[in-house]
Structures are given as structure tokens and as C-alpha cells.
Amino acid sequence: MSQHMQSYAYADDLFGFPRFPDAVREASRFPIKQGTSMFVPERDDAYVFRKEHLRVIQFWAAGTEKNILLQGETGTGKTTLIEQVAARLNWPVFTVGCHGGLEFQELIGRVTLQPDGSTGWADGPLIAAMRVGGIFLLDEMNFLKPEVAGGLNTVLQATVYAIPETGELIKAHPDFRIAATGNAMDGVGKGAYRGTQTSNIALLARFTLGIRVRYMSVQDEQKMIEAKANGITAKVANYLSEVANMARKSHEDGALKAPMSPRETIASGRRIMAYSGNLHGDDALQAQCKAVAESFEMTFLFRWSPDDRNEFVKASSSVASRLGLPIVLE
């Protein structure tokens, strides 16, 4: 179903901030798409937005710039940021997870065989987003092959795309946007995954709007953990956010091969609650502290190397001691 940007809402209402002053508020409106689509992401009311991202997102949503690049370490929430903005603006998202085997044709579409023996055409995610005015989201764009990046560069230059197989001309809907995420886009960052390819320079030049997404603050992550892991004590949620922050710093320094992502802290918090039971007061705190080791083991430590485990255990001991919590990892 075709949708158009028709109504507006204020940023403070949309993204959970205290009410802005009237002079600022009037300039903070965001367009809301009308209609319904199964491709609109599910809204997460516990998601914590950051004010420093708003102006850039507003330029992009309004169409001042139609392409946006989110760059940052793995686990900083680049993809989630786009999805949660889209959820609040009622904007369909067509996501492609980039990898070395991805072919450009998969983004455009393919000829299909119909039940009566005739042939038809099935849109790929790029063409589908162009038709309905959706967001085409390239997740981890730095893994694209150069020839795929070159094909996308051609699309980003034009407002009309001709499908070679059918001859159809697709004119991009006014609400069509492209978002891309990537870590260490120059291929040399300390946090770069092994196998990351240097992105096509010409394609990168098409993204003249961007955000460097950093890990959320300890306070914001604690707030999210408490919202997602219902019943977790503030002290244990604070421990999780503090130890995750220390692990990320160790990763940046090269002492850990992988950081601890917000997704892992939230999953750990939920498992702590599942293991510790529905207790209250000091009993709850003690039970939750005891459940930390098993939760970490099941969530992420099972796949870490002995050296990384030892480094993380030292970080955990330091944080637990500073916070006065009886948490012991082995």
C-alpha cells in the first residue's frame, strides 16, 4: 500500500524526551507516514534515544538528505536506531544483511515462474522500497563486493531505475530513503571484524549525511536493562552496564577480541531474573548476584576464548568489588 508523509509529531513526544521549550519544539517536528504496512518495525518503548542524533535524523526524515550512513563499533545499535525511528514514524523498512556472496540482482528482484507456466516479476527489497516509499536498509554495508557497491552507486545517483528484465521504469517514491550501517568503514579501525572489506569509495561519497554511533552511556544502558529485565535490582543492572562498559574499553585497547553488546547485557539481565526467581529486597539482590555467572556463561562466555574469559573475569571482579556485590565468575 502506498503511503505518504501527511501528519507530524514533535520529537519530545516521539522519542521520550522531557518537553522541549516551545521555540525549540516547533522546529522539532517529524513527518509521520499514513497507512499500514507489515514492514514497519515493531516499536520498543524501552528503547533509549539520544538527543545528539535528532538533528541528523530530522534532516534525513524530511528528505533534506535521502541517504544516511551510521558508522560505529559492532553492538552500538546502529540498525536498531533506524528501526526504532521507523517504528515511531510508521515507515516500512526493507533490510538486507550484507555479505560477500550477495549479488546485486538479489536487491533488484527476479523473474518468477507462475502457476500457469507464464513468467512474472518479484521485486527485491531495493525496488520494493522505491515503489512504496520505504527505507532500504543495508546492514553492514562494508561487506559488499565492489561490483555490488558499484551497482548501488548507480541507483543512488538516479530517481528512476529501469528493470532490465521487464523494461519497467521505477520512479522512486518521494519518501524513499536509504540507510546503511557499517563498522570500521575504512577497514582499519581497532574494532573492525576480520574479513571486513574496504567499502567502495564512490558509494561512500553518496552518503553526505551520517552519524557515528557510540555505545550508550552507563546510565542509559542501566535504564534500558531495568526496563527490559523486569524486576532486576538497580545494583545488578548497574553492574551489568559497568562491566559491559569496561569490556568495551578492553576491546578498543585490543585486550578483548569482541565487545559486550547491549543485546548481551539485556539478555543476561533477563536470564538473571529467570534464574533468581521472584524475590524481594536483600534476598532478590543475593539471588540475582548468584545467577550472574550462569547467565553470562549461557549468553556469551561459552563462545569466548580462554584468554578473553580471563580478561573478562578480571574486569568483572574489579566492578563487583567497587560496587560491593558478591558476584564471582570463574
- For the domain that residue 133 is a member of, what is the CATH number? 3.40.50.300
Between CA 192 and CA 195, with CA 194 as vertex, the angle to 5 degrees is 110
pTM for the whole structure: 0.86
Q: What's the grid cell of residue 45?
A: 518503548
Same domain, 197 and 226: no
Same domain, 224 and 195: no
Between CA 148 and CA 153, with CA 151 as vertex, the angle to 5 degrees is 110
Same domain, 129 and 184: yes
Same domain, 254 and 206: no
Give the count of beta carbons closer than 10 Å to the beta carbon of residue 298: 13
Domain boundary among 168, 194, 212: 212
Domain boundary among 180, 212, 244: 212
Count of structural domains, the chain: 2
For residue 159, what pLDDT is reported? 81
Residue type, 197: Q
* Burial (CB count <10 Å: 0-12, 13-18, 19+), residue 242: buried
Scanning the structure block, which residue is given the C-alpha cell 534464574?
275
272 within some domain:
yes
Same domain, 196 and 228: no
Domain boundary among 181, 212, 243: 212
Same domain, 229 and 101: no
> Which regions of the chain are under pLDDT 70?
1-6, 184-199
329 within some domain:
no
For residue 227, what pLDDT is reported? 94
197 within some domain:
yes
Whole-angstrom Cα distance, residue 165 to residue 158?
19
For residue 1, what pLDDT is reported? 39
What range defines the domain where residue 169 resides?
A: 5-212
330 within some domain:
no
32 within some domain:
yes
- The dihedrals phi and psi of 157, each to the nearest 5 degrees, come to -80, -25
Same domain, 109 and 225: no
What one-character-per-residue DSSP string does 255-271 give? SSSS---HHHHHHHHHH
328 within some domain:
no
Same domain, 147 and 287: no
- 246-255 contacts at long range (C-beta below 8 A, 24 or more positions apart): 246/315, 246/318, 246/319, 247/312, 247/315, 248/73, 248/215, 250/311, 250/312, 250/315, 251/73, 251/190, 251/191, 252/73, 252/190, 252/191, 253/190, 254/190, 255/311
241 within some domain:
yes
Same domain, 196 and 242: no
135 within some domain:
yes
**How many Cα neighbours within 13 Å face the side chain of 124?**
16
Classify strands 135-139 and 177-182 as parallel, antiparallel or unpaired. Answer: parallel
Same domain, 51 and 179: yes
Same domain, 24 and 118: yes
Whole-angstrom Cα distance, residue 103 to residue 144?
9
For residue 158, what pLDDT is reported? 77
Please check whether residue 175 is in contact with residue 4, taking contact to mean a CB–CB distance below 8 angstroms.
Answer: yes
Whole-angstrom Cα distance, residue 199 to residue 146?
7
Please list, in sequence order, all residues whose beta carbon lies within 8 angstroms of the beta carbon of residue 217, skipping any fewer than 6 positions away: none
Whole-angstrom Cα distance, residue 268 to residue 19?
33
Same domain, 150 and 260: no
